[in-house]
Structure 1
């Protein structure tokens, strides 16, 4: 960096013979060169964010809860299906019973409707 400063000083002393505007322009150019070299010398950051560790216990817990939830849902669906079958059987029996009772009632009344 001292080399760049030496160059800037040499440019300034050379610019003293020119007008004030030219001196200012040369100083700005040298300053830009110094800034560019300083920026180019900085190493790029190759840092990577730390990767989280694989937590087997967490995934085992999630998998177990999913399996248990699926089993509970299956059991509830099976219970609903059995209840529906029971209601259907009960409705069929009630219908058959009413038909038999209606027939008996007609026979009791002597065939009159």
Structure 2
């Protein structure tokens, strides 16, 4: 007599559970069916390494433009900080001079 495959066993369990209203048997039949299906069709995995997509010319032009705009922004920010620092130094010197003149006048 030939041995039953897992799928045949699962089908027999389902037929047995159909006539019985016992929930545990229905659940067991469903689980057996799922297990049999998993054993029949194992998941195939792709073993091939896919090459990374290369950038097009347009993307490189966009990157270059972004770098240029960023560089110009950093230059303007540096210039603004230099002007701010010079202005702050002049204000401090003027206030110091005014303070010494005020102290001498007393």
TM-score range, shorter chain: 0.3 to 0.5
Q: TM-score, normalised by structure 2?
A: 0.47
